[in-house]
Structure 1
Amino acid sequence: MFTFRQTTGSLAILFIFGIGWMPAHAAPVPKVGFLVVAPDRGFLGNQEIRSLVAEFKKSYPAALGLIGKDYTGVQGEYAAYLTRAAQELKQNGVTEIVAIPLFLSDADPLLTRIRPLIAAYSGELPVRWAPAMAHDYLIGQIVLDRIAALSAASESDRLILVGAGATDEANEHRLKADLEHLLAYVARYRSFRETDVVVYYERDATNAEQKNKDIKAHLLSRMAKQGRTLLVPVFIGPKFDYSMSLAAWMDAQFKHTNAAYKPDELLPHPNALLWLKKTANRETALASNEIGVVIMPHGSTQPWNDAVETTITPLRSKYPIEMAYGMGDPHIIQDAVSRLEQQGIRRIVFVRMYALDHHMKPVTDYILGLAESAPAGGHDHASEVPPQVRTAALFSTFGGYEQNPEIALVLHKRIAELSKDPANETVVLLAHGEGTDEGDAQWISVMNQNIARLRLDPHCAKLKAITALTVREDWPKEREQAVAAVRTMIEEASKQGRVLVIANRLYGSGPYKTMLSGLNFELSEKGLVDPVLTRWLEDGLTRMTAELIPSKSEQSAAAHP
């Protein structure tokens, strides 16, 4: 009959013997350590930073190197902190260093001074830099949390993000660009009367006093307008104690105005630790026990869910698996991801257990942080922009079980269970369908590919006809036309023989009985749940795992570039 598995098996054998063997002496994976380069903030601020890095060190080889605004180069007083941090990493067996800048912006003047000199402290270990904080959505979430603490209803409020550390106008513009990026992230979730960003100058910058007076005057003029003004500090500033800090200075500047303000900087916040871990995960080779799986089927009543679980159960002994039933529900996804992280998982394969590979992809890619822009309006997600997961885990995804050629095997089973006289029978593969004509045509195209495979079977080749149709069931106007066309087709075909309707959906037959009531046909309600789906899941997870874990040849190349 069909030979899909035999063909796949043959290819697998060729792969194993063709490139699978590697020499036993292949070099080990380099051990990466993380040098957290942070600004010297004074006693209380440095306590916050040390606490953050201490938590980070529980999971990754890491050390803290402080630098201050008086940093004068490789021979200055801060050299001792950086050299000591690099030596700590070397003593832990680290063979290369990734420097993580605990700075909001890559344009921070202090960071730009230390960046080209970091190799001088690494003790001959190779060192490279990770990006600063501003362009990770986890930092945008910190800003959102700070805003939420000031304002529940924002439409009548004015929002101003306040940065610090500029040394000249060109530097101010670069720092502002990162604040504007964070402001754009906030705008996805909150609407304001007005928005603005300002960046204060360093005290020792040229003409700083006048520049900062101008900024204050600009802010006061904004506050004089109708509506409340929210001032949100977006910096990691000096913090010698609670009163001697940049945030406290701002509080004193504007406490007699109508501004809403809290002296909460970017630190401390739980997302700062997530950001450190996420940065480290990008730079660290994986072990197989650090990969987990989240599977997202549509979900329905318990019988529907139980049927899907039967396809997943055989894989639970091989992978840590969490379920996230639903149509891209961000809260359910967050819970599933958090449960895996609690088990030590650092990379997650997210499976969209939906018919085609684009189904639910825009919304889940955004929720997982794989897409920069929020999805446009449509059927596959809520009208509001969904929250993104708060996690250090990195993601790979796949979906589209109906695009697996072996689905034809399942369809063959369903036809064989009903068919008695193929020459006198018409088969209708009936699917959910999509709202757009383009998407619906793509679904029917995939079904027609499976029909072509079915026609290779001697029994199915005798069938009078095999037709792919959809009912477009979630879009009233399109559904009315689609159901009418399906009913007409079945009614005409039943005059010339038996009509077999195969529910071309994951499980059950959905509303088909109601939609087709009064017609003469036989219905297969089992759907596509079958061991074939288990193989599809396993093949996809095997492929994704191979991409996430470097091969021995890749490890050797990384160790000896």
Structure 2
Amino acid sequence: MFLHKLSVIAALVMLCASGTPANAATPSQVGFLVVAPDRGFLGNQEVRTLVEEFKKSYPAALGLVGRDYTGVDGEYAVYLSRAAQELKQAGATEIVTIPLFLSEADPILMRIKPLVPAYTGGLPVRWAPTMAHDYLIGQIVLDRVEALSEQAESERLILVGAGAMDEASAIALKADVDKLLGYVKRYKDFRDAETVIYYDRAADNAEQNNREIKSRLLAHIAKQGRTLLVPVSIGPKFDTAMSLTSWLGGQFKQTQVVYKPNELLPHPNALLWLKKTANRETPLSAASLGVVIMPHGSTQPWNDAVESAIQPLRSQYPIEIAYGMGDPHIIQDAVSRLEQRGVRRIVFVRMYALNHHMKSLTDYILGLAEYAPESDHRGRHDHAAEAPPQVRTAALFSTFGGYEQNPAIAQVLHKRIAEMSTDPANETVLLIAHGEGTDEGNDQWLAVMNQNIERLRQDPHCAKLKDVRALTVREDWPKEREQTVATARAAIETAGKNGRVLVIANRLYGSGPYKAMLKGLTYEMNEKGLVDPVLTRWLEDGVRRLTAELIPHDTEQRRIAQP
């Protein structure tokens, strides 16, 4: 009995030392079952190569299923059971099934989907979305199209899908191919564009239906101008000749159609899509988080000043800077560099004055918005509004912006005033900011500045100032700029008649064009801008807040693991 008590005490001591509650559940371990169509030798080789590359970063296994799938005990059971067992032996406690299929309406996928739990040995199963839902797949189709297109305005585009078993599945499959066509049309303005779906050869009336489709396509091809035919499928590919794409090309061999036998696979975006899907389904660790910060950027002194505010964060997170006004190429480079360092989730910081500045544009570039802003000058210069390239990445994004909406910015403004003010009762302070093109956006900016002025007035020194005013000069919009600069000049002239005028450059760093705009007037300007430890804390707080939302705490991870 004494020895038994000692054993119990020792166990309790060890448990307390570990810091783990006795009833704590082990966090679930996700394994990824990639379910793919059996395409024959060459096609399966492409799929295996893809999945093997995926397995280098994630616990994954491949399960093939064919057109002849007949149920739980059919000939494909061995591939699915073996894949599930491989994941279980690797430590998986739940399975996320990734369908390497374009559409939820694929007849093969529809047959296998409800039966997968029969192969997983009791492990819970959940399904990820199919490929057509992700813009990364739209980019594959766009690449195929751009490889053929010369002058879209005079060309006709036809995207071809396959696999329908009846009219209902043809309609559903077409809806997903239509999504991909919609993506292409954001970037290419074709004279005419449409989608068609061929029937599976095992479908009722397949030969007749496919003959009618061919006749309709031949009528289009006969019209004046180039016709591009692009397969959008992951079809049979026993070898280069015995393949869906070879068959499709043969249907139009004697025509002037522009065609290449390239399907969705192989393509680098297929691997990105698998990884992105896995990232969505996997609890993320602090080690897999990184930060991209997007300031406007200017000359080297401007950039150096801004980077001095960013520097303290570099010891806490992998950080890349993407200077510019939502430049998709610079953003892509920054994101790619983080991914090379093992980052899977990125906090993207719009280091702009207000939260909406650059938001709609960068949300689209990052894949957080479905459509590009058509005419969004809220915080933008008058650049042409067109759909920019979206990042090609497996990373997931969360974003924030709007440093001037941080109440603590009033502390920085107070410093800038205090650095100049000597006799507040005889001084007028003018805060001058960039401004926006739209009246609505400009009014929002002025409202934020006036909120900061109200905070300044709580300070005893600033409360004695003769006046504090917020002004914008709407720098990049000539018509509006003429009026706002005239207003600013008039304000300086009026205030200067009865005391000192102190101009505070209400911008990140420097004074931009203000000296030229205010030439000939009497005033004193503080050009230091808003770069300050307060700005660093705004960055730290924003990243920390989003990080806390992205990474479950230990107790939350245990809650998630509960059945």
TM-score range relative to shorter protein? over 0.9
Query: Any idea what SS the aligned residue of 2:131 has?
Result: coil
How many angstroms apart in 1 are the aligned matches of 2:214 and 2:195? 12
How many angstroms apart in 1 are the aligned matches of 2:483 and 2:251? 65
Amino acid in structure 2 at the alignment position of 1:524 = N
Contact kept? 1:299, 1:305, Cα under 8 Å:
yes
2:541 matched to which residue of 1?
A: 539
Amino acid in structure 2 at the alignment position of 1:63 = A
Q: Which has the higher contact order (CA 8 A, sep 6+)?
A: 1
How many angstroms apart in 2 are the aligned matches of 1:355 and 1:27? 45
Q: Is the counterpart of residue 97 in structure 1 residue 95 in structure 2? A: yes
How many angstroms apart in 2 are the aligned matches of 1:554 and 1:196? 48
Cα offset, 1:23, TM superposition: 6.6
Cα offset, 1:382, TM superposition: 4.1
Q: Deviations over 1:217-249 (max 9, x none)?
A: 000000011111000000000000000000000
- Select 2:339's aligned residue among 335, 341, 346: 341
Amino acid in structure 2 at the alignment position of 1:412 = H
Amino acid in structure 1 at the alignment position of 2:165 = T
Amino acid in structure 2 at the alignment position of 1:397 = T
How many angstroms apart in 1 are the aligned matches of 2:150 and 2:458? 62
Query: Any idea what SS the aligned residue of 1:418 has?
Result: coil
How many angstroms apart in 2 are the aligned matches of 1:204 and 1:28? 47
Amino acid in structure 1 at the alignment position of 2:562 = H
Alignment of 1:88-487 (within 5 A): 88-379=86-377, 380=380, 382-487=384-489
How many angstroms apart in 2 are the aligned matches of 1:555 and 1:314? 30
Contact kept? 2:473, 2:485, Cα under 8 Å:
yes
1:9 matched to which residue of 2?
A: none
Cα offset, 1:29, TM superposition: 2.2
How many angstroms apart in 1 are the aligned matches of 2:27 and 2:285? 11
Query: Any idea what SS the aligned residue of 2:96 has?
Result: strand
Amino acid in structure 2 at the alignment position of 1:202 = D
TM-score by length of 2: 0.95
Query: Any idea what SS the aligned residue of 1:155 has?
Result: helix
Amino acid in structure 1 at the alignment position of 2:393 = T
Amino acid in structure 2 at the alignment position of 1:431 = A
Q: Is the counterpart of residue 503 in structure 1 residue 505 in structure 2? A: yes
How many angstroms apart in 1 are the aligned matches of 2:62 and 2:53? 12
- Select 2:527's aligned residue among 522, 525, 533: 525
2:7 matched to which residue of 1?
A: none
Cα offset, 1:426, TM superposition: 0.5
Query: Any idea what SS the aligned residue of 1:444 has?
Result: helix
Cα offset, 1:132, TM superposition: 0.4
Q: Deviations over 1:505-553 (max 9, x none)?
A: 0000000001011111110000000010000000001001101101222
Query: Any idea what SS the aligned residue of 2:207 has?
Result: helix
Cα offset, 1:28, TM superposition: 3.3
Q: Deviations over 1:121-142 (max 9, x none)?
A: 1110000000100010000000
Contact kept? 1:29, 1:285, Cα under 8 Å:
no
How many angstroms apart in 1 are the aligned matches of 2:497 and 2:144? 68
How many angstroms apart in 2 are the aligned matches of 1:28 and 1:503? 55
Query: Any idea what SS the aligned residue of 1:192 has?
Result: coil
Gap regions ≥5 residues in structure 1: 1-21
2:9 matched to which residue of 1?
A: none
How many angstroms apart in 2 are the aligned matches of 1:360 and 1:334? 16
Q: Deviations over 1:89-142 (max 9, x none)?
A: 000000100000000001000000011111101110000000100010000000
Amino acid in structure 1 at the alignment position of 2:470 = A
Query: Any idea what SS the aligned residue of 1:134 has?
Result: helix
Contact kept? 1:101, 1:130, Cα under 8 Å:
yes
2:70 matched to which residue of 1?
A: 72
How many angstroms apart in 2 are the aligned matches of 1:28 and 1:391? 31
Amino acid in structure 2 at the alignment position of 1:173 = I
How many angstroms apart in 1 are the aligned matches of 2:274 and 2:320? 24
Flag the 1:322–1:226 CA change in 2: closer, same or farther, 3 A. same
How many angstroms apart in 2 are the aligned matches of 1:29 and 1:502? 53
How many angstroms apart in 2 are the aligned matches of 1:378 and 1:474? 14
How many angstroms apart in 1 are the aligned matches of 2:26 and 2:449? 47
How many angstroms apart in 1 are the aligned matches of 2:546 and 2:331? 19
Amino acid in structure 2 at the alignment position of 1:476 = P
CA RMSD of aligned residues (A): 0.9
Contact kept? 1:43, 1:240, Cα under 8 Å:
yes
Q: Is the counterpart of residue 51 in structure 1 residue 49 in structure 2? A: yes
Q: Deviations over 1:53-79 (max 9, x none)?
A: 000000000000000011001010101
Query: Any idea what SS the aligned residue of 1:469 has?
Result: strand
How many angstroms apart in 2 are the aligned matches of 1:243 and 1:98? 35
% identical equivalent positions: 75
Contact kept? 2:33, 2:84, Cα under 8 Å:
yes
Cα offset, 1:24, TM superposition: 4.5
Contact kept? 1:53, 1:62, Cα under 8 Å:
yes
